[in-house]
Chain A
């Protein structure tokens, strides 16, 4: 067994460290090494006439918490670092994610158990999973709502960041759950556009209404649409190309409306 040769922080490594050009693992290695290496501590002093800025950089690195792995992965995928802070700060996102996954599971169980009216039940329930996620994410901001409202942050950006984060988990989860249950396979994709449409409708309503009222309006409105289509025998059309095309058009209109309402939000109104 051989002992590895001792290593020390070289001037180029110091420069890269102080300049923030090292990745997290290299930074951690430098920090833990320097903390216990008198040679490198002397080397740091020799590296600069005034080592204070360097030590400040070391201190800054140590006192800046390292982002969680999934946030680092998202950063590598090009997501803006400040957006990651917005999303990760909403620790309450765990609740909308749980709501969405539970909603998808419940939908799968109910629809699988139904002998008839499977399509109607599926079309009513499945698009509500992303709605649960979006409404839950909006609600999750409440703990700091009093403070958030007094900052210059755009309510549009905040709401969209959280909605996207919530949907990023809710939609794949619902798809995976649907894919695992054979009776749902023929209907697997039918809920997606209506789901997005209802999520956007929820966002629009949340700019003016409380969480509970917005949720009730979306669920009630969608129930009426599905019931009317079932009653008039047009459920297949709702699930088919005409319904999906209409959902795309409504999505576009709701998105425009949401942007407009978010930027003209009444003073002190819900965010």
Chain B
């Protein structure tokens, strides 16, 4: 399954949320990192057909999202989308919410639709909460319910905007298991860099509406090699320093202190370094 963006940009009035961007997404789990306001949600909403780009074209599974109504509808048949926030209508049960979304996704036949609803409920470990009102669910359960609606019909392109927000470590691990087992393409935006290192075949780093990095996790880590140190004193001009549990200081970037020892960089270190690299410097 391929999704392609060609010279896609998005502006809100005079504010450019996404500069002209070309991307091809082909299979696997792709992580999208970036600070708040970087344009991650805009990019995901464009791909999810929730809004039209200002320029450029988008295609999903060969169907032009930016084309006519018919091709856009066809593209939507291959999509699952989890927005950053889902507001649930009052009085709905977990089952009713998913049943409604399944109808919207053209599951017309009641028996097969209900079986699909039960499947995704079980997938996110909410099988025993089917009849519960959504308002009675905890924050984590509501988030899992929102994830479940995106999984209806096993879409070929799954677009998840911060899926792990509100999930505890066990639930996050469970979600990783679900996502890693999906056959199509998963694009997930997250602030949890450990999710990226644990899950993603490919990482995109978006900053100020521009793609700053597009590569593998090892590639991202390699960009930070030799730039993270442990010492008794912080590195000069370090981007970030903090005292670790052992009493030593970990420094990201900067000129290492004389007694500094280079340590393996994490995805978070690499991301922080990347964000502060001047534009135009190759990753």
Contacts and interface: CB of A to CB of B under 8 A. Distances in A.
Contacts of B115: 60
B133 to A, nearest CB: 10
Contacts of A91: 89-92
B2 interface: no
Interface string A58-98: 00100111000000000000001110011011111000000
Nearest to B128: A63
B250 interface: no
Nearest to A141: B89
Interface in B101-149: 101, 103-108, 110-111, 113-115, 118, 127, 130-131, 149
Contacts of B118: 60, 63-64
Given A89-B92, A147-B83, A152 B106 contact: yes
Nearest to A88: B96
B242 interface: no
A89 B131 contact: no
A151 B104 contact: yes
Contacts of B107: 82
Contact of B103 (A60, A85, A143, A150): A85
B65 to A, nearest CB: 8
A153 interface: yes
B50 A86 contact: no
A267 B75 CA distance: 13
B6 interface: no
A146 B95 contact: no
A151 B79 CA distance: 8
A93 B99 CA distance: 18
A267 B72 contact: yes
B101 A147 contact: yes
A63 B111 CA distance: 13
A263 interface: yes
A85 B100 contact: yes
A64 to B, nearest CB: 5
A48 B110 CA distance: 25
Given A89-B92, A152-B77, A63 B69 contact: no
A80 B118 CA distance: 21
A151 B52 contact: no
A144 B90 CA distance: 11
A149 B95 CA distance: 21
A86 B106 CA distance: 11
Given A147-B86, A265-B69, A63 B81 contact: no
A11 interface: no
Given A60-B115, A65-B95, A267 B108 contact: no
Contacts of B251: none
B103 to A, nearest CB: 5
B93 A147 contact: no
Given A63-B130, A64-B114, A147-B81, A86 B92 contact: no
Nearest to B149: A147
Contacts of B91: 91
Interface of B: 48-52, 65-66, 68-69, 72-74, 76-77, 79, 81, 83, 86-93, 95-97, 99-101, 103-108, 110-111, 113-115, 118, 127, 130-131, 149
Given A82-B113, A150-B48, A150-B79, 10 more contacts: A64-B95, A89-B89, A89-B92, A150-B76, A151-B105, A152-B73, A263-B69, A267-B65, A268-B50, A268-B51
11 contacts: A20-B111, A63-B131, A82-B107, A82-B108, A82-B113, A86-B103, A144-B88, A147-B81, A149-B50, A264-B68, A266-B52
